[in-house]
Structures are given as structure tokens and as C-alpha cells.
Amino acid sequence: MKDNNYPTTEPITIRKRIGSTIYEVRSYFNPAAKETVEEKLLRIIRNDLTNGVNRAIMKLSQTERLPERGSA
């Protein structure tokens, strides 16, 4: 059965053994994509870093309060 969501090119397949289990990951890339794999990975990493910093700031502002001025 052919899945029309993927191009007809062969996927990149990576196999990794951890203990007695073998994991297999197949990666498909659209040859008509507007960004390279490198550009996509960098975008994902940047987004994760930005979102992580934003979540940390939000968590800090919700859980820790700075002492009020004048209190020692």
C-alpha cells in the first residue's frame, strides 16, 4: 500500500540497538521542500530554545517573587 503523503524516493533508515531491542527510524524528505534539512533542524532547535527560555521565565515569575523594596 502506497502512502501518498511521502515522495517516491527511498527513506533514510537508521537502526539502533539498545539492549535487546532494535529501533528503526525511517526519515522521508520532500524533494520539493523550500528549506534544506539543515535549515529545518536549526529552526526547530531555535524554536525549542526560545520556547524553553520563555517557559522558564514564566515558571520563575509564577513561583518566585522578588522581595519588596525596603524589606530586609
pLDDT tens for the chain, 72 residues: list them.
455 565 557 888 999 999 999 999 998 878 788 998 889 889 988 888 888 777 777 776 666 665 666 655
**Domain count within the chain:** 1
List the domain range (segments joined by +) for residue 38.
12-63
Q: Is residue 68 part of a domain?
A: no
- The secondary structure of 2-69 as a DSSP string is --TTS-SSPPEEEEEEETTEEEEEEE---TT-SS-HHHHHHHHHHHHHHHHHHHHHHHHHHH--PPPT
Q: What angle do CA 11, 6, 9 make, to 5 degrees?
A: 45
Q: Is residue 7 part of a domain?
A: no
What does the pLDDT read at residue 52? 76
What does the pLDDT read at residue 20? 94
What does the pLDDT read at residue 29? 77
Q: Is residue 4 part of a domain?
A: no
Q: Tell me phi and psi for residue 14, to 5 degrees.
A: -120, 130
The pTM of this model reads 0.42
Q: Is residue 39 part of a domain?
A: yes
What does the pLDDT read at residue 51? 80
